[in-house]
Chain A
Amino acid sequence: MLYRKKRPLLVFLLPSLLLMAVFLYYPFVENIVNSLFDIRGLAAARGEFLGLGNYRRFFSEDPVAMTSFFNSLKMMGLTLVFQVGLALMLALMVDSVRKGQQLFRVVYFFPIVISATAIGLMFNLFYKYDGGMLNQLLAKLGMDKVLWLSKESAYTMVVIPTLWQYIGFYFVIILTGLAGIPQEIFESAAIDGATGIKKIWYVTLPLISDVLITCVTLAVTGAIKVFDLPSVIARNGAPNGLTHFLGTYMHNQAFVAQNVDYGSTISVIIVLMGVAVAQLLNRVIARNSEALR
């Protein structure tokens, strides 16, 4: 009776749906179709139908593509260990102390608010060979200068700020989860003799497993979308495309080299990888949580 007329409904739904249809759903489908054709140049029309040719090229003929693929894959693993892992440790520690909780929250979280571009610029100043902060520090300690963005170490150096920036994000999520655990559970666990690591492993972690699952999913799907920091710290995957991630390589192919079809292909691979990893994580977690019960 209250909400029966259809016209207002249309007025409420249309603006959002129209925007998303034009700038999200339609391009998403078009992008998949584009990846199957030959398109040379950003303004060029679709050419020959290539089928899965672009995908074959990605997986068997393009060494840089493989580098970016494995870099992104490695990034996912690293986010699991270092972002969620460190965030969990920090959250457990902060939760165990009473004073200063709020301060730690504020301080740990704040790199997230800063744009990754600014952070990239900042780390550029740290990594510079001549006069960079790290080399100045080494000089103070009487050691030789180091080429931080060398072939061997560039990947690590790009990954460090990326991991560092978002630890506070997962920290806050986990800390909120920890605060939601009723105190009585810990009291009864203490009476049963669970303390220290045991308490954390058998009582705390199972109780925040939902929160951890959220963090893991967010971290891993976020790792595929890494773009800003690598593109500021190591341009065009410098040196020699070794620091390309799927995102930066996609941008490079589609908008710099103007291999539009190939760029679309890479973006489809990004989506597929995201869906596949999310599915895989769900399965693993479901199996593990069944085993726990």
Chain B
Amino acid sequence: MAMNQSVETIKKPRATVGKVVIYVLLTLWAVTTVFPFAWVVNNSFKHSSLVVNDSFSLATGEVLRYDKDGQVVRERIMQDEYGRDMYDKLLFDADGNPVYEGAQQSPTINRSGAFADLLSGMTVPTDEANAHLQAYDTVNGKVIYDESSPPVRLSPTWDNYVSVFTNRNVNILRGYKNSLIISGSVMVVVALFSAMLAFGITRWKFRGAKVIKSLVVAALMFPAFATIVPVYRMLSDMGLYDKLEGVILVQCAGNLAFACTVMMGFINALPYELEEAAFMEGCGPYGIFFRIILPMCKPALATVAIFTFIWSYNDLFLQMVLLRSNALLPVCAILREISSQYGTDFGMMAASVTVVVVPVLIVYALLQKNIIKGLTAGAVKG
């Protein structure tokens, strides 16, 4: 004991320096996982022309413009007594320090039509020519003109979200609906069916049980690529191509192998006594399954459900291959469409990533323990 203590006292100073280094390194890695998303969320509140020029600034109440010499000018926005924007002009000198130039009133022109157009999703002012001439003040529906430069408001704008949600070609809200229908059904079906199979396999003694078990394990190794062409042709023959039902069926099959493996391990370890008691009371196998097995399987079912849902929700490959109609595309496929059709609209791209990431993030924050366990526990066992 004494020796142990002396070892610790000798090492104490080195250990603390090491600790600091370790915390620094760990924090650096945390930055690489958090910063990209923070960057995207911040830029989703800016106009594309601003994202392109100055993506690191916070979306705050400033106006950014370049003067005739190409120098960056930042201006704070104030409002005069009539509610018009008034700029408190700040110029930056060569050393980057702000130079106060005194208050001056900006020319603002009301154009009420601009925001109305935006809302209807007809014209989205993202083309380069427009962006250089004018900047949209979405809150007041004004256009700010300035001859020296294209001024861009740094105040948070909802424009990008308006274009994401009102776009007719790529409708993210509908994508959410489709995703929830697909992944929700897959989750329920896979959880129920896998529990049933696991119950049958572990409780009945019959020839062929071993074969089925090894078939299930073998299916774990089948990548979607290896089955997709025949599946595609089959779904076409059955009239299920480009139908949500088709994707659901295929994803169910694809997730069952993993789910069955987890459930078999879990149900096998459950004690028999309760079931025997229930049998004595006159309970049949169906009653035992629904009243005893399923309630006891809650933790394993949660693991299976979370894994299945996330896998299905994020699976781009099957969505891309088995669906074609715009109206049926789930979120991931929609995102891919957005990146190909609106790849140059940085603001809209940032907003669509945010729209897809934030709900997942909220769910993750609430359920993180279960999610981490659900995604890793199964992997370790399988």
Contact = CB atoms under 8 A, between A and B. Distances in A.
Are A and B interaction partners?
yes
Interface of A: 2-3, 5-6, 8-9, 11-13, 15-17, 19-20, 22-28, 30-31, 34, 42-43, 90, 93-94, 96-97, 100, 104-118, 120-126, 128, 130-131, 133, 136-137, 140, 164, 168-169, 172-173, 176, 187, 190-191, 195, 211, 214, 218, 221, 224-225, 227-228, 231-232, 235, 246-247, 250-251, 254-255, 260, 263-264, 266-268, 270-271, 274-275, 278
B380 A115 contact: no
Contact of B55 (A108, A113, A136): A136
Contacts of A128: 346
A12 B289 contact: yes
A164 B254 CA distance: 26
B356 interface: yes
Contacts of A113: 310, 360-361, 364, 371, 375
Nearest to A168: B33
B379 A16 contact: no
A25 B339 contact: no
Contact of A136 (B56, B193, B215, B320): B56
A115 B314 contact: yes
A105 B226 contact: no
Interface string B301-328: 0000000001001101100110000000
Contacts of A232: 316, 335-336, 339
Given A17-B197, A120-B339, A26 B346 contact: no
Nearest to B316: A228
18 contacts: A2-B272, A19-B252, A27-B226, A43-B233, A108-B33, A109-B368, A109-B372, A113-B361, A115-B331, A122-B36, A130-B52, A131-B52, A133-B55, A136-B55, A191-B4, A263-B229, A267-B225, A267-B228
B229 A34 contact: yes
A173 B378 CA distance: 11
Give 5 nearest A-B pairs by CB, closest first: A131-B52, A12-B200, A23-B253, A27-B230, A27-B227
Contact of A114 (B194, B257, B357): B357
A177 B249 CA distance: 36
B314 A117 contact: yes
A97 B314 contact: no
Report the interface size class on chain B.
Answer: 35 or more
A270 B225 contact: yes
A96 B229 contact: no
B3 to A, nearest CB: 7
Given A13-B197, A164-B32, 12 more contacts: A6-B206, A20-B253, A94-B26, A115-B314, A117-B332, A173-B376, A191-B7, A225-B224, A228-B314, A231-B316, A264-B229, A270-B226
B269 interface: no
Interface stretch (B17-25, B99-107, B117-125): B17-25
A3 B204 contact: yes
A126 B52 CA distance: 11
A269 B331 CA distance: 30
A274 B275 CA distance: 41
A13 B201 contact: yes
Interface stretch (B59-67, B80-88, B151-159, B279-287): B279-287
Contact of A131 (B19, B51, B233, B253): B51
Interface stretch (B108-116, B133-141, B162-170, B347-355): B347-355
B42 to A, nearest CB: 11
A121 B338 contact: yes
B300 interface: no
B232 interface: yes
A291 to B, nearest CB: 25
A117 B249 CA distance: 22
A26 B249 CA distance: 14
A24 B222 contact: yes
Given A9-B206, A19-B252, A106-B368, A125 B30 contact: no
Contact of A169 (B204, B250, B376): B376
B372 A105 contact: yes
A16 B196 contact: yes
Contact of B223 (A22, A94, A228, A267): A267
B302 to A, nearest CB: 15
Contact of A31 (B221, B227, B339): B227
Given A13-B197, A19-B252, A94-B26, A271 B229 contact: no
B229 A254 contact: yes
A28 B343 contact: no
A22 B253 CA distance: 8
A169 B33 CA distance: 13
A242 B205 CA distance: 54
Given A5-B285, A113-B310, A19 B256 contact: yes
Contacts of A105: 372
Contacts of B39: 133
Contacts of B340: 235
Contacts of B214: none
A204 B206 CA distance: 44
B260 interface: yes
A93 B22 contact: yes
A260 B204 CA distance: 43
A124 B349 contact: yes
Contact of A118 (B206, B257, B353): B353
